[in-house]
Amino acid sequence: MRWTASGLRLVGAVTAGAVTALLGLLFVLVTAPFADRPAVRAAAAWLTGLELRRLRLDLPDRREGDERRFLAARVPVGVLGGLVVFLLMFGIDVATRLVWSWSRGEAFDGMLPTPPLLAYMFLSGSVLLFLEATGLVGVDSLDRRLAVRLLAPDPAEALRRRIDELTESRAGVVAAVDAERRRIERDLHDGVQQRLVALSMLAGRARRGRPELLEQLHEQAQQTLVELREVAWRVYPSGLDAHGLPETLAGVAERASVKVTVTCDLPERPPVAVETAAYFVASEAVTNAAKHSGATLVTIGVRREGTMVIVRVEDDGMGGADATGGGLTGLARRVAALDGRFTVTSPPGGPTVIEAELPCG
């Protein structure tokens, strides 16, 4: 059944290609005097997009300006495909009439069925059917190769673009690491260090006969431990190693100052780098929502789609989040380092949606 569906889809694609080739030729001839006009270029790009959808080709960075050349170049391929389909339909028609006549005991083109004739017809029909199938596959493959040849980015240009992306990503990772180090130093200096100074002063006063300060000393020590734990988790969430992403995100929800719901649908644990990036995206998004958006509910969703892990964080705050801010920029760089995609949608009035797509396969 699957082979039949694939065969019918292939015949349909080649047939449609024959029709669109003639339409493309007509378009190129009619618009030749106006080739440089924006409307003509836009129409050529639209027709080219139809051809790529017919061929099920995804060329997101295709070259612009070569669409009319592509439409003209594929005319011979379309005509060839039309001839192959015509011969296939002609052969099916002859085979159908032959079977119908012989099944009723009638002669076909003056011939009655005999064992040698049946064997000859079966063998010749099988060979012709094989040649037709090969022709259909060949035309489809030729059409695809022509599209890639004329529309795909130049390999050297694509390589240069990839080098630029990697260079920018590397610089972004270095900047993100430096920013994270500065933030940790600031947290230690402004938070933990000040509390330790206060602890030292309280301990000194308690030793000089102020036992009532011991309870305050104990509270300060507890708060210092909490802040030290928070700083350590910003460096690396050790719970990931022991418990995995679902339980670690549940810990984020418990520690948050707003209500957080977590849905984690992962059939298996992703790589460590992906798991860590997913954690930081969710954790930083929750922190931003609690501090800046006035949200009362944050929803974290983690799921697997093919080779991608999708992390989606949505809050019901007032929106207007700045995607170029320090925290979100750091997350974008962390995701880019894994060749992932990071998007922030935060219209005024909300909601704010932060989504990261992390490749793991």
Query: For the chain, how many residues are written?
Result: 361
Shared domain check, 137 and 114: yes
Residue 76, preceding peptide bond in cis (omega within 30° of 0): no
- Tell whether 178 is covered by a domain: yes
Mark whether 253 and 220 lie in a shared domain. no
Burial of 88 (0-12, 13-18, 19+ CB in 10 A): buried
Domain boundary among 199, 219, 234: 234
Asked if 266 and 304 count as a contact pair (C-beta separation under 8 A), the reply is yes
**C-alpha dihedral sign at 164, 165, 168, 171:** negative
8 Å CB contact between 252 and 245: no
| Mean pLDDT of the chain, nearest integer | 80
297-305 and 259-265 as β-strands: parallel, antiparallel, unpaired? Answer: parallel
So what's the pLDDT on residue 355? 93
Specify whether 322 is located in the same domain as 344.
yes
Q: Is 315 exposed, middle or buried (0-12, 13-18, 19+ CB in 10 A)?
A: buried
Please provide residue 331's backbone torsions phi and psi, each rounded to the nearest 5 degrees: -65, -45
Q: What backbone phi and psi angles, to 5 degrees, belong to 130?
A: -65, -45
Which residue's entry shows tokens 């260079």?
A: 167
115 with 40, same domain: the answer is yes
**Backbone phi and psi for residue 320, each to the nearest 5 degrees, phi listed first:** 75, 20
Is 351 within the bounds of a domain? yes
Question: Per the domain annotation, does 76 fall within a domain?
Answer: yes
Is 267 contained in some domain? yes
Give CA–CA dist 204/225, Å, rounded: 20
Structural domains in the chain (count): 3
| 345 found inside a domain | yes
Asked whether residue 181 is domain-assigned, the answer is: yes
Domain shared by 228 and 257, yes or no: no
| Co-location of 85 and 172 in the same domain | no
Residue 252 and residue 328 in one domain:
yes
294 and 223, same structural domain?
A: no
Asked if the structure places residue 157 within a domain, the reply is no
**3-state SS assignment for residue 261:** strand
Could you give the CA distance from residue 109 to residue 94 in angstroms, rounded to a whole number? 11
Same domain, 188 and 276: no
Q: Which one-letter DSSP state was computed for residue 154?
A: P
Residue 310 sits in a domain whose CATH number is 3.30.565.10
Residues of the chain with pLDDT under 70: 1-2, 60, 154, 157-158, 166-218, 220-222, 224-239, 325-327, 361
Q: Which of 181, 178, 222 is nearest to 198 (CA)?
A: 222
User: Domain residues for 210?
Assistant: 168-234
Residues 182, 128 share a domain: no
List beta partners, residue 111. Answer: 108
Q: Based on the domain organization, do 293 and 352 belong to the same domain?
A: yes
- Give the Cα-Cα-Cα angle 305, 310, 314 (nearest 5 degrees): 135
User: Kindly report the CA angle at 135 between 130 and 138, in degrees rounded to 5?
Assistant: 125
| 20 and 131 together in one domain | yes
